[in-house]
Structure 1
Amino acid sequence: MSTRHTFIAPDIWVRQIFSAKAARDGGIVRRSLRDIDRMIGRDAFERELQRRGYSAVFNAGQVVIFCNNEPVRLLVGPAPPAQKFSENFCQDFSEKSWSDGKGSLRIPPDQNPSGYRDA
């Protein structure tokens, strides 16, 4: 049995992701890293996230996109050291206060309510 793949232009694919109700409402959407690589590539995807001011996390082949400008906080831990999503991802976001440039989340002390941990 063969799988039939339909071609979708990269700009339409991106538009579909961010026009989902969850994205429009400032929620989260999830996509597989394989689909991101296949449809638009990581660099273009990361540029689009930066343009929109959104954050994303990667785990087990899935990318969770936070469709808002709020800080991302890890609720439970500890976890093994995070691997870089890609070289550009960590480098591009290293200037933001929440990244230490090594792919780890760093929350400024004044924004870290009791019970939250830096990743």
Structure 2
Amino acid sequence: MTRYDPIPAPHNPGWRNRLFGAKAAQSGGLIRRKKRDVHREIGYAALVAEVQARGFHLIECGDQYLIICHDGQMRVIC
């Protein structure tokens, strides 16, 4: 029987540092990235971990991830 290991998640700390070092991330703004870019550069699990570690909010909409770079309470109006 052959054992198949899962493909390791991508890891690109430079891309991650640029993403969360952006002016929007530092000033409580919004960051938007295509899902395919996130999956290619750092992987979904790493993105979620980074967002949670900062207390930010992550929204998936279509082919985009939206990161609300603020730890305040969030309310969706419509």
User: 1:53 Cα deviation (Å)?
Assistant: 1.1
| Corresponding residue number in structure 2 for 1:44 | 46
Q: Which amino acid is 2:45 matched to?
A: D
- 1:25-64 to 2 correspondences below 5 Å: 25-64=27-66
Tell me how many residue pairs correspond in the alignment: 68
Which segments of 5 or more consecutive residues in structure 1 lack a partner in the other structure?
1-8, 77-119
Structure (1/2) with the larger strand percentage: 2
Offset of 1:23 from its aligned partner? 1.1
Select the structure of larger CA radius of gyration: 1
> Alignment identity in percent?
35
Length-normalised TM-score, structure 2? 0.80
Q: Which residue matches 1:11?
A: 13
Partner Cα distance (1:25, 1:46) in 2: 20
More helix by share: 2
Cα-Cα RMSD:
1.2
In the alignment, structure 2 segments of 5+ residues that lack a partner are 1-10
Mapped to 2, the partners of 1:44 and 1:32 lie a distance apart of 15
Bigger RCO (CA 8 Å, 6+ sep): 2
- List, as ranges, runs of 4+ consecutive aligned residues in structure 1 with deviation greater than 6 Å: none
Deviations 1:20-55 (A, max 9, x none): 111110111100111111001111111111111111
The secondary structure found in structure 1 opposite 2:65 is strand
By how many angstroms is 1:56 displaced?
0.8
Q: TM-score, normalised by structure 1?
A: 0.54
